[in-house]
Amino acid sequence: MTDFIGANLPYLLGGISVGGQYALIAIGYTMVYGILRLINFAHGDIFTVAGFLMVYMSATMPLAVSLPLTIALTVLLGFLVERAAYKPLREAPRMSIMISAIGVSYLLQNLMWYITGGLAKQYPRLPWVSDSVTIFTATTKVVTLVTPVLTLALVIALVQLINHSRIGMAMRAVSKDFETAKLMGIKIDRVISITFIIGSFLAAVGSALYFTNYTAVTPTVGAMPGLKAFVAAVFGGIGSIPGAVIGAFIIGVSENIIKALGLTTFSDAFTFALLILILIFKPTGLFGEAATDKV
Amino acid sequence: MKTAKIVLSLLLIIIAIALVGYTLSSQGDLRDLVMRLDPQNLSSADSRMLKARDRVLDGLAEGDRVRDLRNLDRYLEDYGPQLALDGENGLELFVYRNGPSLLAAGIALAVIGAALLVSQLDKLAKLRRPAIYLALAAVLYAGVYIVENIAGSSSMLMTVLKKGAIYALIAVSMNLLNGFTGLFSLGQAGFMLVGAYTYAIFTIATDSRAQVYQYYDGGLVQFALPTLVAIVLAGLVAAFFAFLIGLPVLRLKSDYLAIATLGFAEIIRAIFQYDGLGPITNGSNLLRKFTTFDTVLFPFAVAGVCIALIVMLIHSTYGRSFKAIRDDEVAAEAMGINLFRHKQMSFVISSFFAGVGGALLAMYQTTVQASAFKASMTYEILLIVVIGGMGSITGSVLASFLFVASSEWWLRFLDNELVIGGVQVPLLRSGFRMVVFSVVIMLMVLFYRRGIMGDKEFNLKRFLQPRVRKGGDVRG
């Protein structure tokens, strides 16, 4: 029994941890989709930019400055991307905004490649969370244990914000009916900006946790976690924050179970297979609202 | 009068073709000529002369035209009087020396002739349109052939033309789906991968298989197919994959479809890299030593035929149904169009041509590895389609060549550090090219959303005879 636990606990812990990191990214997707009906393809790249910002800033600044500054700059980037690339296309067909998002992703990746010279950078060691810890027989980093706790705390805070504040109410209204919300005097642009700010903030936190585990930062490293987080958002029912979180944990854990079975090549493929299954059998996801087709 | 003009123009074109043909053939014959000039009547002990001749031949073999001419000059200057240089040989030498200018003259004549012909277009319009298109295609191919012979097969221009033609085919195949049927699919890289692998697996020469599949005991497939058969097979296998994937996926709506196809492309990539399939796919190792092409005419011919087939499809009843689905699904269904069947057809056909494009890309790269066919490849092709204009074939073709030319060639200088007057120009270093490039693309996506051509096609007649504005000019 202890052997079994000793052999499998690291995978389980890894799964929960990576699930929490996906969850933080997935919230960004699900909130943006809920309001703009846009798959923000650039979200994964914003997550990577946060990683690089931390690499560069921690080289010259103490952690107490570099970490908040990284988060602040990532939030600023998310805000600017929305203003520059999505806002001008508000009235355009949805396909155009999606293409614009793909363009932003392409631009951010090339920009990161240019600045870093295409080489992988080592993510700095964060005090305490990078330390090793032993649970039963499994050795892991403290971040593995911190991630789910921090994720849940942030999600609860976010849900409180959405359910019990004026701006939260505005967000719910906009996501329910864009046009009517506009007519009722809600400042749409402000709501959308705040959505992007929250999404980028969570992506920055997720990035700090993720790269403490997987320390090599490259320009395209965010693409895969980004897509998986999106799958998590769809799995949980797009537009639903608890759904995204649960979806992310399920995906993180099952991915690690597959790795434990020795099928690492298929861990990415599994995620997408899951996506396709859920889209066929329950297109609205676990907690999604039933969409009605208007003719 | 008109007939005279047409006869004249045809005459000019014939003279041009003859001139170009003769120039090109004599370039190839120079080796023979030099051998023929070999002083058999002189004592072959004249070793200096033989050495000089060999220098000319070496220069020829390397294809270094400038050095070659210099050697030839020296050879003829020293030994010309002793050689039997009669009129015919003299003419060949003259043509070789003046090759580029003669070719230029030939092209100029051809252009004048073609212009004259086109100016009589209303007469020609009575001919069937396919004849005109065939003639235009022939002129294009002849032009590419001539340019290739002047510039050399490995020059930058040829690289761009080869890759551009391949990208054009892939972009058009994606446009068929996204621009003409309105299915926002992001799986193109996956189908290209299937095509590239199928082609590579079936054309590796039998005796190099042991070397390529060194980790898998020479692999399972132990025969090689002819190139064209393998290309068609590449398309068919990609189409088969598309058929299977389409069954569940095509029932999804816009952005879910995008994500599901993107996901399938990733799954395909994972499967092809799977170690268990190593005897067939070589796992995550390179596939190499398969048949490739060296002339630019090959991708031009294959891509040209495929694009022509797609154009014909779009002009058929099916094509009109695709457009109806794109414009309004509900109305199309009400008119009796079977939505699923038509979507499936578009998806399968588009994937067939993506597979063929993947095979060509494999030939162009000379090696294939699954890890290269990432989602970013699909994004690049999507951006090409958008730049060219969703729903415009000519737009996609034009944008492919522009995209490849600027990313591989015109913007290269941005990647090199540059010092002007002792001051280093800021920003210029490796990678800057792609940044500038993606900024330009972003600007196009934001402010020039319809792309180069919108959903219009390039029209030769309208291009040559600009429409006269109604109501006449207002003069102040």
CA distance B423 to B419: 5
- How much is the ipTM here? 0.85
Residue B183 sits at the chain A interface (C-beta within 8 Å): no
CA dihedral A191, A196, A199, A203 (to 10 degrees): -160
- Residue B237 gets the label, from left (phi > 0), alpha (psi -120 to 50) or beta, of alpha
Q: Is the pLDDT of residue A5 over 70?
A: no
Q: What local confidence, expressed as pLDDT, does residue B354 receive? A: 96
A141 - beta bridge partners?
Answer: A132
CA distance A155 to B215: 49
CA distance A195 to A33: 10
| pTM of the complete model | 0.79
Residue B441: list chain A partners with CB under 8 A: 103, 106-107
Q: Which of B50, B14, B46, B17 is nearest to B34 (CA)?
A: B50
Question: What are the residues whose beta carbons fall under 8 Å from the beta carbon of B202, sequence distance 6 or more?
Answer: B221, B223, B224, B225, B230, B233
Optimal mutation site among B175, B437, B445, B450, interface A, most CBs of chain A within 10 A: B445
- Cβ separation of A102 and B383 shorter than 8 Å? yes
Domains and CATH numbers, chain A: 2-281 (1.10.3470)
Contact call for residues B116 and B9 (beta carbons, < 8 A): yes
CA distance A41 to A97: 10
Residue A283: list chain B partners with CB under 8 A: 252, 256
Indicate the pairing of strand A132-135 with strand A138-141.
antiparallel
CA distance A267 to A247: 16
Q: What local confidence, expressed as pLDDT, does residue A23 receive? A: 92
CA distance A159 to B330: 38
Contact call for residues B222 and B209 (beta carbons, < 8 A): yes
Q: What residue type is B237 in one-letter code?
A: V
Q: What local confidence, expressed as pLDDT, does residue B45 receive? A: 52
CA distance A95 to A86: 12
Domain spans of chain B, in order of start: 2-127, 153-380
Question: What are the residues whose beta carbons fall under 8 Å from the beta carbon of B275, sequence distance 6 or more?
Answer: A265, B283, B284
Name the one residue in this structure whose structure tokens are 């072959």: B44
Q: What is the pLDDT along chain B (476 residues), one digit of tens a residue?
A: 667 777 787 788 888 888 777 777 666 566 666 666 665 545 555 667 777 777 777 776 666 666 677 777 777 777 666 666 666 667 777 777 777 777 778 888 887 887 777 776 665 555 566 667 777 788 788 788 777 777 766 778 888 999 999 999 999 999 999 999 989 899 999 999 999 999 999 998 888 888 888 888 777 888 888 888 999 999 999 999 999 999 888 888 777 888 889 888 988 988 888 888 888 888 888 888 888 887 888 899 899 999 999 999 999 999 999 999 999 989 999 999 999 999 999 999 999 999 999 999 999 999 999 888 988 899 999 999 999 988 899 999 999 999 999 888 888 778 777 777 777 777 777 788 888 889 988 998 888 888 888 777 776 666 665 555 555 444 44
Q: Indicate the length of chain B as a whole number.
A: 476
Give the number of beta-carbon pairs within 8 Å between A and B: 123
- Cβ separation of B376 and A273 shorter than 8 Å? no
Q: What local confidence, expressed as pLDDT, does residue B43 receive? A: 52
- Provide the total of helices (H) and of strands (E) in chain B, helices listed first: 21, 4
Residue B294 sits at the chain A interface (C-beta within 8 Å): no
Residue B339: list chain A partners with CB under 8 A: none
Helix ranges restricted to H, B125-187: 129-151, 156-175
| Alpha carbon of B295: minimum distance to chain A alpha carbons (Å) | 32
Optimal mutation site among A102, A268, A280, interface B, most CBs of chain B within 10 A: A102
Contacts of the segment B334-338: beta carbons below 8 A, 24+ positions apart: none
Contact call for residues B393 and B400 (beta carbons, < 8 A): no
User: Nearest Cβ partner of A269 from B271, B376, B447?
Assistant: B271
Residue B252: list chain A partners with CB under 8 A: 279, 283
Contact call for residues A21 and A208 (beta carbons, < 8 A): no
Name the one residue in this structure whose structure tokens are 């280093």: B424
Q: Is the pLDDT of residue A196 over 90?
A: yes
Residue A118: list chain B partners with CB under 8 A: 430-431
Q: What local confidence, expressed as pLDDT, does residue B125 receive? A: 58
Q: What residue type is B93 in one-letter code?
A: L
User: Nearest Cβ partner of A113 from B270, B374, B431?
Assistant: B431
Q: Which helix (H) or strand (E) holds A289?
A: none
The per-residue pLDDT of chain A, averaged, comes to: 86
Q: What local confidence, expressed as pLDDT, does residue A294 receive? A: 40
